[in-house]
Amino acid sequence: MLDFVTIEDSLGGPASRGPERPGPADQVRGRLDAVLIAARAAPLTTHIGLVPTAVVTHTEPFHISKAIATLDFVSTGRAGLRVQVSGRPQEAAHFGRRAFPHVRLEDRADPVVQELVAGLFAEAADYIEVVRRLWDSWEDGAEIRDVATGRFVDRAKLHYIDFAGDYFAVKGPSITPRPPQGQPIVSALAHHAAAYQMVARSADVGYVTPRDAGDARSAVAEIRAGQRAAGRAAETVHIFGDLVVFLAGTAAAAADRKARLDELAGRELTSDAAVFTGTPAQLADLLQDWQAGGLSGFRLRPGAISHDLDAITAGLVPELQRRGAFRKAYESGTLRGLLGLARPASRYATA
């Protein structure tokens, strides 16, 4: 009964934290491509949305627009995109097209970091704009597929996007027809002002990482103010709170399980998001408390997928349903429909 699943991706290997802070040598952190995982899962699922991550700093918007449009066709309207930026020099070195300074990205008071981060998110906002225009570059009904005349497409319904910005110059049109949703949803994780502004300006869904209801309220207020400034006040932009969760039948059992996993890992789990240990009922209490801060929903990160994903679906979801806080059936066959987002018309279509 979940709305969608996000699929993580990264361009960094085991030493992704850099040569000055290498990862543990005994831990393998290989990754499969998120978009391809989603494409493989699409025919095996029927309702849940599939939202792979793309590191947009080192990929081209034309390629990603085509990949996500294809995923939307394969899933019959359940595709989305999670946009991620990267300012790590070792990841840029995989491509050799640009270089970033060796700084601690966590030091947000550093002017060099501020300039770097602001540039990365400004680039990501342009990236999203290009992707959206490419999805719109085929109007609905552009495909004719007329065997008798030999015409596949109505050329009048294909459009050059002619985008020229600070980071991209893309002529278009796409080579992939308009996706079933018109535009698959675009989402991004946001921790600070530059990311909040990108979500407000460009995204359908933003993920934030509050520590309590007051923190959630502040993040929501900042994004809503950015929406108004961007002229999107009338549009629906969902803001989901992120939580890492360890669930069990009792709070003590959940804490014990996390402690055992920490011991096996040789260190305590840390995360950009708050870490919750407890029962499904206690988690439901927390989610409803935070929702009062203005959050639309939540993106839950299972502490251990093999256990906690099942605990979310078999324990938390029924608990929320009993409280009347979660639906009992899928109301729509598309991800936009599940999120209450209308299917947009192509911006290039004539009235």
Q: Give the pLDDT score at 147.
A: 84
Q: What is the pLDDT of residue 14?
A: 52
Lowest mean pLDDT among 140-154, 250-264, 292-306: 140-154
Give the helix/strand (H/E) hosting 245. Answer: strand 238-247
pLDDT of residue 15: 47
How do residues 307-346 score in pLDDT, each as one tens digit? 999 999 999 999 999 999 999 999 999 999 999 999 999 9
Whether the CB-CB separation of 51 and 57 falls below 8 Å is answered with no
Token pair of 213 as six digits? 């209801």
pLDDT tens-place string over residues 87-130: 999 999 999 999 999 888 788 888 999 999 999 999 999 999 99
CA distance 160 to 208: 35
- Backbone CA torsion sign across 286, 235, 188, 106: negative
pLDDT tens by residue, 201-253? 999 999 999 999 999 999 999 999 999 999 999 999 999 999 999 999 999 99
Per-residue pLDDT tens over the stretch 27-86: 656 789 999 999 999 999 999 999 999 999 999 999 999 999 999 999 999 999 999 999
Q: Is residue 164 scored above 80 in pLDDT?
A: yes
| Rounded percentage of the chain residues whose pLDDT exceeds 70 | 95
Contact 325, 284 (CB under 8 A): yes
Q: From the CB of residue 31, how many other CB atoms can be counted at a distance below 10 Å?
A: 14
Domain-wise residue ranges, the chain? 190-204+215-235+242-327
The CA distances from residue 69 to 72, 174, 231, 330, in Å, are 5, 10, 26, 23
* 101's tokens: 């300074």
Written as one string, the DSSP assignment of 46-99 is: SSSEEEEEEEGGGS-HHHHHHHHHHHHHHTTS-BEEEEE----HHHHTTT-S--
